[in-house]
Structure 1
Amino acid sequence: MDPRPTVQEPQAELPVILPKAPLSAAVPSQRHTSPLAGKHVLVVGINYAPEPTGIAPYTTGMADHLAIGARSVTVLTGMPHYPNWQLDPQYRFRLRSREVARQTGDAFDGVAGLGQHDGLTIRRLRHYVPGRQTALRRAGYELTFLLNCLTTGIEQRPDVVVAVTPALGGAVAAAQMAQRTGAKLIVVVQDLMAKAASQSGIAGGGKVAQATAAVERYALRRADLVAVVSDSFRSQLHAYGVPDERIRLLPNWTHIHASGLSKPDARAALGWPQQQFTVVHTGNIGLKQDLGNLVEAARICARRDAGVRFVIVGDGSQREAIRAQAHGLENLDFIGPLDGVRYPQSLAAADLLVVNERPGVGDMSLPSKLTSYLTAGRAVLAAVGPEGATATELRRTNGAAHLVAPGDPAALAASVLALRAAPGQCLEMGLLGRKYAEANLGREAAAARLDALIEECTER
């Protein structure tokens, strides 16, 4: 591979911003025992820090951990744009940029801390950012990232290429780069893109699902190993022709620490009312989340119980539409994305944490917020399909979550009011969630699984 950049790039190297509690903090002693010792790694994924939510914290933490043991890690990623689907003004006029993570020790302050490892280089590539989600616009988003990946020169020939989906364009580029260089290829599947096209409600998605499946099949069948964050993805991979012996489970880990504040103290820190029963939804406000269902549940609760307050924390392509639907509702508040300190406080301030999905969403993805919700130690109410990935994962918590049918605001409101009347049950659910998170979602376990995945792939 030509080590020279294919276009002129800025010479200044910028410090990269990483999220709180990266995966690398779990195993600081792996530098001398890593299966990547002396090897170069290329990570390809469109979402990366400083994006505060979604897939970015996991891709960032994974790259940070790989940098502990590898000779070098290069990340090909997009310009920050998620969850509001607007290009970060700092990157507005850049075609490409180069950032180097600088060693600063183990201290991290939310999304404002600096990376702690030498040898971690982030190459940001310009791509189209659709303000409104349609199948055609999404195709432009994928294609522009793919083309920029393929035309970007990499300084070090990689020994291992790790692709993260979405974006699908990044996985295709990673497959091409691995083939050209003879590198091992691992694809980490956070979302199934063909399923997303047909299930998420994007305009025209159903028509392009077949083409998306063909591209997704191409990338996944070329991987030496495919890692999935949920076992519910396996059946689709089998349908693509990926044999089970090449599929590994790599669950997401919790990338936040519980705030440590009591509910009253967390509400005081945020300036929230103390007496109301508070229902909180966090994360992306998009088509898949179908938060109009939550708005109508809040409307029902407003008529039945004045002591219930709903809070939607985050941003996304549907935020303004949802705000318009909620016009006049005094028991529903919208709050923008919070930093690494205030976000855990918002979870601690809740009586009930909500996951809401569009009817028909099944095994296409697993909400990244689940790890944070369970770590916070608060009861979870999930309006999701009974056979989907989210329901499957929450059943494993043995009682931390209550499931209700999606797209039914009356049922959602009834569950909210029933749990308000059962504070002891809410407390028990929260304790079960935290117990499950401590046993299954720790960074130590995730780091060990990632190391084992890398070792197996490099030895194949």
Structure 2
Amino acid sequence: MKILAYGLNYAPELTGIGKYSSELCEWLAARGHTVEVVTAHPYYPNWVLAEGYDNRSYQHEIRNLVKVRRCPLYLPRVVPSGKRGRIMSHASFAISSVPKLLASVRQLQPDVLLAVTPSFLIAPMALAVSRMFGTPSWLHIQDFELDAAFELGMLAGNNLRRAATSLEAVILRRFDRISTISPRMMDRLHSKGAPPGSTVKFRNWVDTDAISPANRMTGFRKQLGLSDRHIVALYAGSIAAKQGIESLAEAAAELQTKAPEVVFVFCGAGALLKHLVKIAAPLSNVKFLDLQPDERMRELLATADIHLIPQRAQVSDLMLPSKLAPILASGRPAVAMAYPGTQLAAEIEGAGIAVPPSDRQALSDAILKLARDPGLRMRMGEQARTLACARWHKEAILSEFEANLIEVASRRRKNG
């Protein structure tokens, strides 16, 4: 089978969509499929061009059997925290990628064109090209970025929202197959007009062999000057508006004197990193680490006694944190900012504590409860590992996705 993947983010980006897109493509290539990718030069989450790439030109490379076509994009000088810089960046890739997308379809003649959003700005072109060449089209939605942008105030106006939502619905109805990553997000797809017969749940995943419970006394503890008496509350991932990460700094301030053994460790990058560093500067119980490569991920996650999953209430069920599966696989409990009944709260049931978003006191109390009860941490950590193996197993999820791809690709062969 020949597969052309099209999306903004790809390896060597370490977090978020790029990580999952590249793992998917490399897994398919290792299975013997021919896989090509049209993507941007790597920049996320720092919004800085990765070393070795030239944003003034197109570049080609082979990464683990996958041919990758890189396209230029606009990168603002300042990490964007609002709408303008992000929209311009996403739009620039949507425009610059058109020649490479057309060239790839002509040369490869793929059995399936798989578009990954965000950015949704690529969806119209993916659909148009698939129709032009008679290629089955698949849209995979990692988060509902339009809804999130309006809920977080990055976009505003009822007329604009109605127009954007209407256009989104028209596009969704025209893809041959649409997938997203959670049951609640599947419900939202259907509410937007996507035909139930064309939708597929396609979770993110974790390699439960690569990420597994390990000794908490890691090299990172030594690097940070922490001993076995310290209880590490770890946040690892992108530091951006949808996380509501300021609540974690508020909880750290609350626990600084009440529970000095609890140390908050932030490992990540993103639009709000400088802001987080600034507000945490007076706190003696906060430490920072740079983003870590995959080969140190097991060690990083094992450093935690408690994992932290912040999320703003406005984006509940518009996305599911990509860090969730590795957290569960690490066999540590989580404290998540999620209302009862949301997908995130359901996913950590028995494996952590869900607290209302932006409720500093509830967040502090949950962290303190786990910090003071090693037996509870152990029981919840064991349940987390069980859930990871049952719901998030990489081979099972990707094998099912492959079967769906083959089914969609068969339409081209029948029509050809």
TM-score by length of 1: 0.83
Query: Which of 128, 131, 141 is the equivalent residue of 2:89?
Result: 141
Q: Does 1:431 align with 2:369?
A: no
Measure, in 1, the Cα distance between the counterparts of 2:287 and 2:154. 26
Measure, in 1, the Cα distance between the counterparts of 2:304 and 2:162. 41
Q: Aligned pair in 2 of structure 1 residues 206, 263: CA closer, same or farther (>3 Å)?
A: farther
Query: Which of 107, 127, 139 is the equivalent residue of 2:73?
Result: 127
State the Cα distance separating 1:326 from its structure 2 match: 1.1
SS of residue matched to 2:108: coil
Equivalent residue number for residue 457 of structure 1: 408
Alignment deviations for residues 391-438 of structure 1 (CA, whole Å, 9 cap, x no partner): 23333xxx0021001101111111111111211001110010111111
Alignment of 1:8-407 (within 5 A): 36=1, 40-69=2-31, 72-101=34-63, 115=64, 117=65, 120-130=66-76, 131-152=79-100, 153-154=103-104, 155-202=107-154, 204=156, 208-255=160-207, 257-258=210-211, 261-265=214-218, 267=220, 270-274=223-227, 275-395=229-349, 399-407=350-358
After superposition, the CA RMSD in angstroms is 2.1
Q: Aligned pair in 2 of structure 1 residues 434, 71: CA closer, same or farther (>3 Å)?
A: closer
Matched length: 403
- Unaligned ranges ≥5, structure 1: 1-35, 102-114
Alignment deviations for residues 117-172 of structure 1 (CA, whole Å, 9 cap, x no partner): 3xx21001111234213223222122211112222222222221011111112222
Q: Aligned pair in 2 of structure 1 residues 272, 339: CA closer, same or farther (>3 Å)?
A: farther
Kindly provide the amino acid, as one letter, of the partner of residue 12 in structure 2. P
Kindly provide the amino acid, as one letter, of the partner of residue 97 in structure 2. C
SS of residue matched to 1:264: coil
Measure, in 2, the Cα distance between the counterparts of 1:85 and 1:71. 32
Measure, in 1, the Cα distance between the counterparts of 2:87 and 2:218. 46
CA contact (8 A) 1:58 1:255 kept: no
State the Cα distance separating 1:200 from its structure 2 match: 3.6
Q: Aligned pair in 2 of structure 1 residues 209, 312: CA closer, same or farther (>3 Å)?
A: farther
- Return 224-233 or 80-89, whichever deviates more: 80-89
CA contact (8 A) 1:193 1:216 kept: no
Q: Aligned pair in 2 of structure 1 residues 437, 410: CA closer, same or farther (>3 Å)?
A: same
Measure, in 2, the Cα distance between the counterparts of 1:209 and 1:266. 48
State the Cα distance separating 1:78 from its structure 2 match: 1.0
TM-score by length of 2: 0.91
CA contact (8 A) 1:146 1:172 kept: no
Q: Aligned pair in 2 of structure 1 residues 141, 386: CA closer, same or farther (>3 Å)?
A: farther
Q: Aligned pair in 2 of structure 1 residues 205, 144: CA closer, same or farther (>3 Å)?
A: farther
State the Cα distance separating 1:196 from its structure 2 match: 1.5
Q: Aligned pair in 2 of structure 1 residues 71, 415: CA closer, same or farther (>3 Å)?
A: closer
Q: Aligned pair in 2 of structure 1 residues 389, 148: CA closer, same or farther (>3 Å)?
A: farther
State the Cα distance separating 1:90 from its structure 2 match: 2.7
- Return 448-457 or 183-192, whichever deviates more: 448-457
Measure, in 2, the Cα distance between the counterparts of 1:151 and 1:306. 57
SS of residue matched to 1:392: helix
Measure, in 2, the Cα distance between the counterparts of 1:133 and 1:214. 26
- Unaligned ranges ≥5, structure 2: 412-416
SS of residue matched to 1:177: helix
Kindly provide the amino acid, as one letter, of the partner of residue 226 in structure 1. I
Give identity over the alignment, percent. Answer: 30
Measure, in 1, the Cα distance between the counterparts of 2:24 and 2:44. 19
SS of residue matched to 1:306: coil
Measure, in 2, the Cα distance between the counterparts of 1:432 and 1:376. 11
State the Cα distance separating 1:92 from its structure 2 match: 4.0
Query: Which of 351, 368, 393 is the equivalent residue of 1:417?
Result: 368
SS of residue matched to 1:360: helix
Measure, in 1, the Cα distance between the counterparts of 2:159 and 2:9. 26
State the Cα distance separating 1:307 from its structure 2 match: 1.1
Measure, in 1, the Cα distance between the counterparts of 2:16 and 2:160. 24
Measure, in 2, the Cα distance between the counterparts of 1:170 and 1:255. 29
SS of residue matched to 1:453: helix
CA contact (8 A) 1:159 1:182 kept: no
